[in-house]
A and B are shown apart, each in its own frame.
Chain A
Amino acid sequence: MTAPVISVRDLGLTFLGKRGAPPIEVLRSVNLEVLPGQFVCIVGPSGCGKTTLLNIITGFLKQSAGDVLVQGAPVKGPDPRRIFVFQDNGVFPWLTVEQNIGFGIARRSLQEQREIVHRYVQMVGLTGFEKAYPRELSGGMRQRVEIARALAPNPEIIYMDEPFGALDFITRLKMRADLTRIWQEEKKTILFVTHDIEESVQLADRVVVMSSRPGTIRKQIRIELPRPRDLDSPEYLDVRDEIFRTIGMSLKVGVG
Chain B
Amino acid sequence: MKKSILLPLSVLVAVYFLWDGAVLLSKSDIFPRPSQVFFAIVELIQRGLLLKYVVASLFRVSVGFVLAVLIGVPLGLLLGWFRSAFLAFNPLIQILRPISPIAWIPIAILWFKVDDRAPIFLIFLSSLFPITVTAIAAVQNIQPVYVRAAQNFGVTRIDLFKRVIFPACLPQIITSLRISLGIAWLVVVAAEMIAVNSGLGYLIIDARNAGKRYDLVVAGMLMIGLIGLLLDLLVRSLERFEEVKWGYSERS
Contacts and interface: CB of A to CB of B under 8 A. Distances in A.
Contacts of A93: 246-247
Given A78-B148, A78-B151, A84-B152, 17 more contacts: A60-B148, A77-B151, A78-B154, A83-B153, A84-B148, A86-B145, A86-B148, A86-B149, A90-B148, A90-B149, A94-B244, A95-B167, A103-B150, A104-B154, A106-B159, A133-B242, A133-B246
Interface in A94-133: 94-95, 103-104, 106, 133
Name the interface size band of chain A: 20 to 34
A148 B16 CA distance: 61
A256 B163 CA distance: 59
A113 B147 CA distance: 22
Interface of B: 143, 145-146, 148-154, 159, 163-164, 167-168, 170, 242-247, 250
Interface in A195-251: none
Residue from A83, A84, A93 whose CB has the most chain B CB atoms within 10 Å: A93
Contacts of B152: 58, 78-80, 83-84
Nearest to A87: B145
B145 A88 contact: yes
A78 B150 CA distance: 10
Given A86-B145, A90-B146, A94-B167, A153 B153 contact: yes
A134 interface: yes
Contacts of B247: 93
A92 interface: yes
Nearest to A83: B152
Residue from A79, A89, A92, A133 whose CB has the most chain B CB atoms within 10 Å: A92
A187 interface: no
A143 to B, nearest CB: 13
Given A133-B242, A135-B246, A92 B146 contact: yes
5 contacts: A79-B154, A80-B153, A90-B149, A133-B242, A134-B246
B167 A92 contact: yes
A94 B247 CA distance: 9
Interface of A: 58, 60, 77-80, 83-84, 86, 88-90, 92-95, 103-104, 106, 133-135, 153
Contacts of A80: 152-154
B149 A94 contact: no
A132 B186 CA distance: 40
A92 B242 contact: no
Nearest to B247: A93
A89 B243 CA distance: 18
Nearest 5 Cβ contacts at the A-B interface = A93-B246, A104-B153, A80-B154, A90-B149, A94-B167
A92 B247 CA distance: 11
A71 to B, nearest CB: 15
Contacts of B153: 80, 83, 103-104, 153
A208 B57 CA distance: 70
B14 to A, nearest CB: 41
A226 to B, nearest CB: 33
Contacts of B143: 88
